[in-house]
Amino acid sequence: MSQQQTDVRLIKLINTITVCVSIAVGVALPGLYFLTKFNHQHGEVAAFAHIHGSLVTNAINKNPHMWRFEEHKLMALMADFSNTEHGGVTHNKYNSVHSLLNLDRSAILRNDEAVLPWPVLSHEVTLYDATKPVAFYRVEQTMRGMMIETLFVAGFGMLLALLIAIPLRTLPLRALRQSQQRLVHMAHHDILTGLPNRALLDDRLNQAILYARRYERQVTLVFIDLDNFKTINDSLGHDIGDELLKETAERMKQTVRQTDTVVRLGGDEFVIILFDQPEKAESITNTLQKVRDVIAQPLAIGSHTLRVTCSMGLATYPEDGEDVTTLLKNADAAMYQAKALGRNNFQFYTPEMNSKLQERVFLQQGMLDALAKNEFVLLYQPQVHIQTGQIIGVETLIRWQHPELGLIPPLRFIPLAEETGMIVQIGEWVLRTACKQNKAWQALGMPPIKMSVNVSPRQFKEKNWALIVSSALQESGLEAKYLELEITESLIMENVERAIAVMNELQEMGVQLSIDDFGTGYSSLSSLKHFPVARIKIDQSFIRSLPGNDEDQSIAMAVIALGHKLKLKVVAEGVETEQQRAFLYENECDEMQGYHFSKPVPAASIEQMFVKTIRS
Ligand SMILES: Nc1nc2c(ncn2[C@@H]2O[C@H](COP(=O)(O)O[C@H]3[C@@H](O)[C@H](n4cnc5c(=O)[nH]c(N)nc54)O[C@@H]3COP(=O)(O)O)[C@@H](O)[C@H]2O)c(=O)[nH]1
């Protein structure tokens, strides 16, 4: 049954109850009053008739032949009884007419000649001489007074019924109306922020498009996604995340015009409909800048001061789409482009963006069963001891052998896997395969080397991550000391305490840890000494311009010195030239990895490298 039908039924029920209660009060009250009064008066009249009747019967019995002639005496008796208290019975306030009647019911005596006002209540008793009926005694009383009183009570009853009926009907109807309004509001608004939701977005955007079509104006749809919301939500909890969303929503609302609509699509995704735009880019840019600035303002929640940025994508009617679905799809594509371009910026939609989004969807769907179809492959890049030139380990690097797109590099699908959570399964597969491969190399008689595996933030946050690592080691039979997990600096900095706890757990298992991309993640140098890591990897961006660039020289030398002071091994990434190798050799960097020695290669190539090394 629809909500509308239920409501109609409820209204009918409320009306019926109101009518029933009104009738009960308005009719039953005077009815009850009348019945009580009637019974009382009827009883009184009957009592009078019996008492008087017995007195007259006494007179008859005393003087069986003469009582008919004792008119005065009987009259006095009747008058007496009709106006005074007698025998414990108080006389009724309504006048009574007492009559002594013949057997043919013609009057012998009557105490009052006045005609009693209608309606009249009467009671008759038969008078006997011995056992023989000789007369009747009748008492009559008017019910007029009682009827008038009943009318007053009826009037009062109706007033009371009205007083009850008004709130009885209006209160539940008001509550019903309020609940209907609440339901309608809930159906069109987001509960957390109070902003319009997707359903209302369709309606408002349609209206805006119709208006723009008629007056030859434009409508711009801005798709907004908060950049680092997920990290905040995961690390500080949902309550803080909710507060952040509420405040961000309020800030956006305050920034745009009242005719514009801010919508929450869900999660950390918002949409703004910029209504009635004169032209496309220029005037909008100011608004977008304001929205971006207002979102980026620091926000104090509890003891935390939070900063979020946002990525925005824009699609404009009519140029980028003429209906709600197309505009939304294109603004979404533009937003993804903004994300891909480093976040915290806005992008206007271009048709090429859709092909990127299509690829994204295509990859996302393909990734779901790529594991089952065995489409992922691992390459291994040697890590070399700079002083001896010996391979001391390899870094595991994934590739996706796509049946249609060919070999896909990790940067095209790992961020997507990270976003969708698929990285957890993929990462586990990489870990297990890498451990088995290293053990297989050992079984082939190769000298034991260290196998480095990249750990993504999402994987590291898994509650049972350490357990997965231990199970991969057990399953492969690889000793923990031959496994190294590479964790990025920014991952550690997301939640330093937890990262240290997990790293300690892994270190206790005997697994080695290294900090990847060192120098790019703003880790505080003081906290570095608490990280249970064995190695730091200088990011390739600092190696690329060596030895020519003075600043990169200083950074590389500083990282090497810092690492050695903390008793850590230092590895240089992305070493491509002999000059770079020489610089690192002179500055006592411990290990290196890069195209200068070898690109990432399949497992068989690593085996051949070892065979060559042994032969030479
Ligand atoms: N979570 C996981 N991340 C992974 C995994 N496999 C790879 N990745 C990450 O993807 C990023 C890109 O990797 P890739 O394209 O494989 O690039 C690596 C090397 O090929 C490249 N490299 C190495 N030497 C050189 C060089 O001399 N020049 C040059 N231009 N590039 C070089 O560097 C990448 C290795 O980077 P890093 O991991 O920082 O050591 C990359 O971030 C991978 O981490 C995976 O299984 N899981």
Dihedral (Cα; 160, 162, 165, 166), 10-degree rounding: -120
Query: Does residue 594 line the site of ligand 1, with CB under 6 A?
Result: yes
Residue 41: pLDDT over 70: yes
Whether 517 lines ligand 1, by a CB cut-off of 6 Å, is yes
Segment 454-459 mean pLDDT: 91
Res 90: pLDDT: 40
Q: What is the pLDDT of residue 489?
A: 80
Nearest protein CA to atom 38 of ligand 1, as residue: 454
Lowest pLDDT segment from 108-117, 155-164, 543-552: 108-117
Mean pLDDT over 581-594 rounds to 96
Q: Is 409 in the pocket of ligand 1 (CB under 6 A)?
A: yes
Average pLDDT of 330-339?
A: 91
Token readout for 493 is 């900095």
**Does the C-beta of 519 come closer than 6 Å to ligand 1?**
no
pLDDT of residue 94: 54
Confidence at residue 252, expressed as pLDDT on a 0 to 100 scale: 96
**The pLDDT value given to residue 111:** 81
User: Is the CB of 196 within 6 Å of ligand 1?
Assistant: no
Q: Would you call the peptide bond into 600 cis, given omega within 30 degrees of 0 as the criterion?
A: no
Assess whether pLDDT exceeds 90 at residue 34.
yes
Nearest CA residue ID for atom 16, ligand 1: 397
Question: What pLDDT is recorded for position 427?
Answer: 96
Domains of the chain: 3-146 (3.30.450), 198-349 (3.30.70.270), 368-615 (3.20.20.450)
Ligand 1: does its nearest atom lie under 6 Å from the Cβ of 407?
Answer: no
Binding site membership of 315 for ligand 1 (Cβ less than 6 Å)? no
Helix (H, G, I), strand (E, B) or coil at 140: strand
Closest-lying ligand 1 atom to the alpha carbon of residue 418? 1
Q: Which of 96, 101, 136 is nearest to 120 (CA)?
A: 96
Which pLDDT does position 84 carry in this prediction? 46
What are the tens digits of pLDDT across the range 44-94?
999 989 988 888 888 888 877 777 777 777 776 665 555 544 443 344 445
| Segment 118-122 mean pLDDT | 91
Q: What is the pLDDT of residues 522-564, one digit of tens each?
A: 555 667 778 899 999 999 999 998 888 888 999 999 999 999 9
Residue bearing the bigger pLDDT, 465 or 60: 465
pTM of the model: 0.59
Burial 498-517 (b: 16+ CB within 10 A, else e): ebeebbebbbeeebbbbbbb
Q: Residue 418 burial (CB < 10 Å; 0-12/13-18/19+)? A: middle
> Is the distance from the beta carbon of residue 321 to the nearest atom of ligand 1 less than 6 Å?
no
CA–CA separation, 140 and 385 (whole Å): 133
Point out the ligand 1 atom lying closest to the alpha carbon of residue 430.
Answer: 46
Counting from 1 in the atom list of ligand 1, the atom nearest the Cα of 455 is 1
- Closest atom of ligand 1 relative to the 397 alpha carbon: 6
Our answer on whether the CB atom of 70 is closer than 6 Å to any ligand 1 atom is: no
- Round the average pLDDT of the chain to a whole number and report it: 88
Q: Is the CB of 414 under 6 A from ligand 1?
A: yes
Q: How far apart are CA 539 and CA 196, in angstroms?
A: 45
pLDDT at 175: 87
Token representation of residue 363: 């990859």
Ligand 1 center to 397 CA (angstroms) = 6
Ligand 1 geometric centre to CA of 104 (Å): 131
Counting ligand 1 atoms within 8 A of each CB, the residue from 397, 407, 597 with the most, and so the one to mutate, is 397
Ligand 1 centre to CA of 604 (Å) is 19
Q: Is the CB of 539 under 6 A from ligand 1?
A: no
Between strands 391-402 and 450-454, the pairing is parallel
What confidence category does residue 328 fall into, taking pLDDT thresholds of 50, 70 and 90? very high
Q: Using a 6 Å cutoff on CB, does residue 410 contact ligand 1?
A: yes
Q: Is 382 in the pocket of ligand 1 (CB under 6 A)?
A: no
Q: Ligand 1 within 6 A of 538 CB?
A: no
pLDDT tens digits, 495-517: 788 888 999 999 999 999 999 88
Please give the number of the atom of ligand 1 that sits closest to the Cα of 409. 15
Ligand 1 centre to CA of 382 (Å) is: 12
Looking at ligand 1, which atom is closest to the CA of residue 378?
46
Please give the distance, rounded to the nearest whole angstrom, from the Cα atom of residue 206 to the centre of ligand 1: 46
| Span 221-246, average pLDDT | 90
Lowest mean pLDDT among 130-139, 267-276, 478-487: 130-139
**184 CB neighbour count, 10 Å cutoff:** 11
Distance in Å, CA 426 to ligand 1 centroid: 16
Average pLDDT over residues 358-375: 87
- Is the omega angle on the peptide bond into residue 547 within 30 degrees of 0, that is, cis? yes
| pLDDT given at position 55 | 85
Which of 359, 335, 361 has the alpha carbon at shortest distance from 349?
335
